């Protein structure tokens, strides 16, 4: 009895020791695998680019709207990711960390692409049935983390039944270009990219998320980057309670919903280049077109010619700082944002600018950031009739905690209204500061 017991104890001990050895060996392997860095990521990056390129080439012939196929926009987005990796691989200025990050990013992107086939699809047969029965059906999909949109497919509006790819993204492959255009036009809008290739076979009603504090009318435009046009599509009904903008579409592509009408009724399209030029001329000021007309009118010979005076200008200064973050990087919700926090907290040193009279604090911020290539994003709040600055230099509200965001002061005082409502005077000093405590840490105690 005692011998049997001893044998059992020994066997149990041996099993425990074996398990411990296996766990230790596995842990050592994982630690070594994580900590041993490659001497050079050049070859690994090249191999990953080759793998990604082959995968992309294989799927080019599998492009379309059907389930299991790849949307053209999905292919385009992956192609751009590969090109970005190629640039880093070929650049002589690329350092070890650049190549490492590019390799790891492309590796993850390649994995994602393998599972990026069309999934949210309404088959042609289903569309035919809806058309025949004149029934309507709603489909809800995610366009970004925790953001959803709704399609309403009404059989009454179907002209020619086709398979419909419901995939849509808030940030499609052309998002940065479109956002840049809106910035240059001094516009704010909600961008949405529908991955459907070609027509929807009729008219679809869509409802997308949009931020608004007042029930108002919006205008939906299709963005055609190849033609350089913004084409008016339909009015967009903005639901204040649901924070949704509803409008109609007939084909896939890139769209933007604006709370400002930018087209003339007689002309449904807006030339982007011409519109940008008009905004630049307006922002830069200048002599009136009529300044030299009627130069000989007046009260008779000998008097000076009557001319229209040039637009009055003022001189102001602007500075952008994020000292609250620079002094304590641990306040950042995402450590990756440290790259956008200058060590001395200075995003833009004090810069003097000459602007037209009646310019606002927002006008100056928008203009200077555009000229200095500093990223800035804002949203229009109809209730207050003002723009709210969400982010500067990729640092946004809540990035430094629940009470964080951008504030501005003029001549040392914090106005209690939006920057686009603050009209500047000659000599004004504007300072944009990032707060992590609702203004208390930057000298504003009005919210206390």
Does residue 77 fall inside a structural domain?
yes
Q: Cα 283 from chain centroid?
A: 24
CA–CA dist 370, 180 (Å, integer): 9
Q: Which residue has the higher pLDDT, 4 or 85?
A: 85
Which spans in 316-445 are helix H?
Answer: 323-326, 361-371
pLDDT digits (tens, 9 = 90+) for 428-445: 999 999 999 999 999 987
Among residues 247, 273, 299, the one where a domain terminates is 273
Q: Could you tell me if 218 and 269 lie in one domain?
A: yes
The kind and range of the H/E element at 409 are: strand 405-410
User: Is residue 328 located within the same domain as residue 346?
Assistant: yes
User: Lowest-pLDDT range, 154-158, 181-185, 302-306?
Assistant: 302-306
pLDDT score of 380: 67
Q: Is 126 in the same domain as 267? A: yes
Give the largest CA-CA distance in the chain.
Answer: 136
Per-residue pLDDT at 146 exceeds 90: no
* Band of pLDDT at residue 150, cut at 50, 70 and 90: very high
Nearest 5 degrees, angle CA 43-CA 44-CA 48?
115
Does 304 have pLDDT greater than 50?
A: no
DSSP 8-state class, residue 63:
B
Give, for 317, the enclosing helix (H) or strand (E): strand 313-321
Express each pLDDT in 71-129 by its tens digit: 999 999 999 999 989 988 888 888 888 888 899 999 999 999 999 999 999 999 999 99
Query: pLDDT class for 2, splitting at 50, 70, 90?
Result: low
Rg (CA), the chain: 29
Q: Which helix (H) or strand (E) holds 48?
A: helix 42-60
Supply the range of the domain harboring residue 168. Answer: 121-273
Return the H-helix or E-strand segment holding 182: helix 175-184
Closest CA to 366 of 257, 283, 282, 272: 283
Return the H-helix or E-strand segment holding 322: none
* Spatial separation of the C-alpha atoms in residues 378 and 259, rounded to whole Å: 14
How distant, in Å, are the alpha carbons of 41, 218, 221, 242 from that of 147? 36, 20, 21, 12
Do 249 and 204 form a contact (C-beta atoms < 8 A)? yes
- The pLDDT of residue 6 is 67
Structure tokens at 36: 């041993």
Percent of the chain with pLDDT over 70: 85
User: Token pair 């099993």 is at which residue?
Assistant: 15
Length of the chain (residues): 448
428 assigned to some structural domain: yes
Residues 222 and 178 in one domain: yes
Indicate if 126 and 92 belong to the same structural domain. no
| Same domain for 397 and 338 | yes
State whether 195 and 63 are in the same domain.
no
Cα-Cα-Cα-Cα dihedral sign, residues 254, 381, 390, 229: positive
Residue 241 CB contacts under 8 Å (≥ 6 apart), including other chains:
none
Tell me if 434 is assigned to some domain: yes
**Does 206 fall in a domain?**
yes
| Residue 382, pLDDT above cutoff 60 | no
Evaluate whether 314 touches 357 at the Cβ level (below 8 Å).
Answer: yes
Would you place residue 384 in the very low, low, confident or very high pLDDT band (cuts 50, 70, 90)?
low
CATH number, domain at 224?
2.60.220
**Cβ contacts of 405 within 8 Å, gap of 6 or more:** 390, 396, 397, 398, 434, 435
Q: Give yes or no for a contact between 158 and 205, defined as CB atoms under 8 angstroms apart.
A: no
Residues 377 and 260 reside in one and the same domain = no
Same domain, yes or no: 324 and 339? yes
Position 69 scores a pLDDT of 96
Instruction: Express each pLDDT in 257-286 by its tens digit.
Output: 998 888 887 778 888 888 877 777 666 654
Provide the number of structural domains found in the chain. Answer: 3
pLDDT tens for each residue of 219-253: 999 999 988 999 999 999 988 888 899 999 999 99
Same domain, 194 and 231: yes
User: Residues 317-366: pLDDT tens digits?
Assistant: 999 999 999 999 999 998 888 989 999 999 999 999 999 988 999 999 98
* Burial state string for 386-403 with b = 16 or more CB within 10 A and e = fewer than 16: bbbbbbbbebbbebbbee
CA 134 vs CA 126, 155, 160, 401: distances in Å: 12, 4, 13, 50
Q: Does a structural domain hold residue 262?
A: yes
**Model confidence band, residue 39 (pLDDT cutoffs 50, 70, 90):** low
A 10 A CB-CB count for 106 gives: 25
Q: Specify whether the CB–CB gap between 201 and 160 falls below 8 A.
A: yes
- The CA distance from 221 to 236, in Å, is 10
Cβ proximity of 163 and 121 under 8 Å: yes
pLDDT in tens, 180-224: 888 888 787 899 999 999 999 999 999 999 877 666 778 999 999
Q: Are residues 250 and 191 in the same domain?
A: yes
């Amino acid at each position: 009895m005692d011998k049997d017991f001893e044998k059992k104890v020994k066997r149990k001990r041996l099993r425990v020791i074996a398990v411990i050895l296996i766990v230790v060996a596995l842990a050592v392997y994982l630690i070594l695998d994580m900590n041993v860095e490659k001497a050079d990521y050049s070859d690994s990056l090249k191999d990953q680019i080759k793998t990604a390129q082959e995968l992309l080439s294989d799927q080019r012939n599998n492009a379309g709207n059907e389930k299991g196929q790849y949307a053209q926009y999905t292919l385009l987005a992956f192609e751009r990711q590969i090109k970005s990796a190629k640039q880093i691989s070929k650049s002589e200025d690329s350092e070890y960390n650049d190549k490492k990050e590019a390799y790891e990013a492309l590796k993850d992107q390649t994995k994602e692409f393998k599972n990026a086939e069309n999934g949210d699809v309404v088959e042609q047969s289903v569309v035919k049935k809806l058309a025949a029965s004149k029934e309507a059906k709603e489909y809800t999909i995610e366009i970004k983390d925790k953001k959803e949109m709704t399609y309403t497919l009404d059989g009454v509006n179907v002209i020619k039944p086709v398979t419909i790819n419901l995939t849509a993204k808030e940030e499609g492959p052309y998002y940065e270009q479109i956002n840049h255009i809106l910035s240059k036009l001094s516009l704010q809008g909600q961008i949405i990219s529908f991955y459907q290739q070609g027509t929807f076979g009729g008219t679809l009603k869509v409802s997308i998320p949009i931020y608004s504090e007042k029930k108002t009318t919006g205008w939906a435009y299709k963005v055609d980057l190849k033609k350089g046009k913004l084409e008016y599509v339909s009015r967009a009904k903005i639901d204040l309670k649901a924070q949704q903008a509803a409008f109609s579409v007939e084909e896939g592509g890139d769209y933007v919903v604006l709370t400002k009408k930018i087209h003339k009724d007689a002309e449904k399209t807006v030339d982007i280049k011409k519109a940008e030029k008009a905004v630049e001329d307006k922002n830069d000021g200048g002599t009136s077109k009529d300044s030299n007309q009627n130069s000989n009118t007046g009260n008779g010979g000998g008097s000076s010619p009557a001319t229209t005076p040039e637009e009055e200008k003022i001189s102001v200064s602007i500075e952008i700082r994020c000292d609250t973050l620079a002094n304590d990087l641990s306040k950042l919700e995402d450590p990756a944002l440290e790259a956008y926090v200058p060590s001395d907290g200075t995003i833009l040193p004090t810069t003097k600018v000459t602007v037209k009279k009646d310019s606002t604090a927002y006008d100056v911020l928008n203009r200077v950031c555009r000229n200095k290539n500093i990223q800035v994003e804002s949203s229009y709040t109809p209730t207050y009739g003002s723009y709210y600055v969400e982010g500067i230099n990729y640092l946004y509200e809540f990035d430094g905690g629940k009470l964080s965001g951008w504030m501005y002061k003029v001549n040392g005082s914090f106005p209690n209204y939006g920057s686009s409502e603050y009209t500047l005077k000659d000599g004004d000093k504007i300072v944009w500061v990032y707060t992590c405590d609702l203004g208390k840490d930057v000298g504003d105690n009005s919210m206390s």
